[in-house]
Amino acid sequence: EVQLVQSGAELKKPGESLKISCKGSGYSFGDHWIAWMRQTPGKGLEWIGLINPSDSDIRYSPALQGQVTISADKSFSSASLEWSSLKASDTATYFCARRKVDQDAFDIWGQGTVVTVSS
């Protein structure tokens, strides 16, 4: 079965660091770009960025560039999203998703990671 499995829910304080992960299985991980999205009740679904696990080429949303770091390890079939200093506004559900080979649509999604940032 083709799937992406994300790490568990996180409760953090403002200013703390965090790294969440997304592990693929059932397909050749390097053959598909992996995207990160976030979802909040107020702003809906937002694209954060996209990484090619084969060569770590990364595209960031201009609105979020500099606020997060995306990485991938093809040998572990894993991608990550990292913050160095969390803010309350980072509270959201984060999804990783697999980009179709020849379309900018996302056919496989992780189950989501809930990140709560609160003092």
Partner 1 sequence: DIQVTQSPSTLSASIGDRVTITCRATLSISYWLAWYQQKPGKAPKLLIYKASALESGVPSRFSGSRSGTEFTLTITSLQPDDVATYFCQQYNSYVFGGGTKVEI
The nearest distance, CB 55 to partner 1, in angstroms, is 20
The nearest distance, CB 119 to partner 1, in angstroms, is 26
CA 115/CA 53 separation, integer angstroms: 24
Neighbours of 104 (CB within 10 A): 10
Q: What is the 3-state secondary structure (H, E, C) of 32-101?
A: CCEEEEEEECCCEEEEEEEEECCCCEEEECCCCECCEEEEEEHHHCEEEEEECCCCHHHCEEEEEEEECC
Among 61, 67, 69, 71, binds partner 1 (CB under 8 A): 61
Stretch that binds partner 1, among 24-32, 66-74, 83-91, 94-102 (CB under 8 A): 94-102
Neighbours of 58 (CB within 10 A): 15
Residue 97 or 117 having the CB closest to partner 1: 97
The nearest distance, CB 34 to partner 1, in angstroms, is 13
Question: What string marks each residue from 2 to 21 as x (binds partner 1 by CB under 8 A) or -?
Answer: --------------------
For residue 5, the SS3 value is: strand
Query: Can you give the binding site for partner 1, defined by CB under 8 A?
Result: 35, 37, 44-47, 50, 61, 95, 97, 100, 103-107, 109-112
